[in-house]
Amino acid sequence: QLEIRQVKNAEFYFAVIEQSGGPTADVIAEIVQQTVRDFPWPKSMRWGVGNLRWVRPLHAILCCFDGAPLSFEIDGIVAGDTTYGHRFMAPEAIVARDFATYKAALAAAHVRLDPAERAAHILACASGIAAENGLTLIEDAALLTEVAGLNEWPVPLLGRFDPAFLAVPPEVLTTAMRAHQKYFSLRDKDTGKLAPFFITAANIEARDGGARIVAGNERVLAARLSDAKFFWDQDRKKPLEARVDQLADMVFHAKLGSVRDKVARMVALSGRLAGLVPGADRADAERAALLAKADLVSEMVFEFPELQGIMGRYYALADGESASVADAIYSHYSPAGPSDDCPDDPTAIVVALA
């Protein structure tokens, strides 16, 4: 039914729709089915012979209201009052018809329901393990949140890697451990330097105390760090300046040319701006601008894009560039956001502005 209503100085048509209600249990069942079928996961999968897509295979649907299970079916999975705890440590079915029972039953079945509780448990255990071994945990809030989401019964374990890998820049090691393996890095409590240890979170209380899990993770990490060391060694065989022209193959913007074109503009701007920033060295500013983007075509930054600028500084120092040039390469991306620090060295300020 249409109605004409006056809104300020104009008339508008309004559609009047009467929709009768229904039992709450029926409404909930309908909403749950629609949500499960239509939920827009960034990544989803299918399994078995059905057509349902979900982030992981569904084994059971627990849905109760007012102490009674709701009966409906989604792609062959019948909802009810039954669910399951830890797949290996407590594979038996769990019956729950209210949230308090549900949470308590899952805890007894080795599942920590609250992600904040899981994160707090990981942080407390990891910090304790580090302290017991004369180490300090390098806290990483984003990694902690991710690891808490990957485990339902997290058990932090201490592993180690060959100290020879410490010859590689620490940012490379921590990035490799974080990005590929979801490991927490550790510092030596006395020196403050990166230590040849890591903490991983297993999703099970192993009978051997986690010895085999740790050994497996150590083998995988050794391969990852070997790759990182290879990139580090190979990249230093070619100076940054020799990489600059390779930037011509990287598009900066469809209407603004390549990254090499951008570098040319940065060099010109740095030369002009150096005269306007007290204390800035024009030659260093132009040199840093020329080399600032060269690490983008290095093997290391190709593998770990988040290390751009960081690796540029290391490679510049390895090439014999001055500390002023190397530091300007490192900090020219700053500030990366509202909470990031701005460069404070005059030459670095010039390159960052350019």
User: What is the pLDDT at residue 258?
Assistant: 96
Backbone angles phi, psi at 151, to 5 degrees: -125, 140
274 shares a domain with 307: yes
From 235, 256, 273, the end of a domain falls on 235
145 shares a domain with 68: no
In a domain? residue 106: no
Entry pTM: 0.86
What rounded mean pLDDT belongs to the chain? Answer: 95
pLDDT tens-digit readout, 70-107: 989 999 999 999 999 999 999 999 999 999 999 999 99
The confidence band for 296, taking pLDDT boundaries of 50, 70 and 90, is very high
194 shares a domain with 162: yes
219 shares a domain with 132: yes
From 235, 269, 301, the end of a domain falls on 235
220 shares a domain with 132: yes
The confidence band for 186, taking pLDDT boundaries of 50, 70 and 90, is very high
User: What is the pLDDT at residue 120?
Assistant: 97
User: What is the pLDDT at residue 20?
Assistant: 83
| Residue 175 reports pLDDT greater than 90 | yes
| Residue 336 reports pLDDT greater than 90 | no
215 shares a domain with 122: yes
With both helix axes pointing from N to C terminus, report the angle between 141-150 and 115-132 in degrees, rounded to the nearest 10. 110
In a domain? residue 259: yes
pLDDT tens-digit readout, 233-271: 999 999 999 999 999 999 999 999 999 999 999 999 999
In a domain? residue 348: yes
In a domain? residue 100: no
With both helix axes pointing from N to C terminus, report the angle between 346-353 and 259-273 in degrees, rounded to the nearest 10. 130
In a domain? residue 87: no
Within 10 angstroms of residue 213's Cβ, the number of other Cβ atoms is 18
In a domain? residue 107: no
Average pLDDT over residues 24-46: 94
**Helix residue ranges, H only, the chain:** 24-38, 99-108, 115-132, 141-150, 170-176, 211-235, 259-273, 282-291, 299-303, 310-318, 323-331, 346-353
Contact 301, 315 (CB under 8 A): no
Average pLDDT over residues 46-62: 91
Average pLDDT over residues 318-332: 96
User: What is the pLDDT at residue 331?
Assistant: 95
The confidence band for 1, taking pLDDT boundaries of 50, 70 and 90, is confident
In a domain? residue 108: no
pLDDT tens-digit readout, 199-222: 999 999 999 999 999 999 999 999
What's the total number of domains in the chain?
3
137 shares a domain with 208: yes
247 shares a domain with 341: yes
Nearest Cα residue to 171 out of 336, 315, 8: 315
pLDDT tens-digit readout, 131-173: 999 999 999 999 999 999 999 999 999 999 999 999 999 999 9
| Residue 48 reports pLDDT greater than 90 | no
215 shares a domain with 124: yes
From 168, 202, 235, the end of a domain falls on 235
| Residue 50 reports pLDDT greater than 90 | no
Structural domain span for residue 56: 2-80
Q: Which residues lie closer than 8 Å to 1 by C-beta, 6 or more apart?
A: 15, 16, 17
| Residue 69 reports pLDDT greater than 90 | yes
d(CA 300, CA 280): 30
Distances (CA, A) of 281 to 264, 268, 272: 18, 14, 11
| Residue 337 reports pLDDT greater than 90 | no
Answer whether the bond into residue 335 is a cis peptide, omega within 30°.
Answer: yes
User: What is the pLDDT at residue 149?
Assistant: 95
212 shares a domain with 193: yes
Contact 199, 129 (CB under 8 A): yes
Nearest Cα residue to 313 out of 299, 297, 293: 293
27 shares a domain with 9: yes
User: What is the pLDDT at residue 19?
Assistant: 82
In a domain? residue 148: yes
205 shares a domain with 129: yes
Average pLDDT over residues 294-308: 96
The confidence band for 25, taking pLDDT boundaries of 50, 70 and 90, is very high
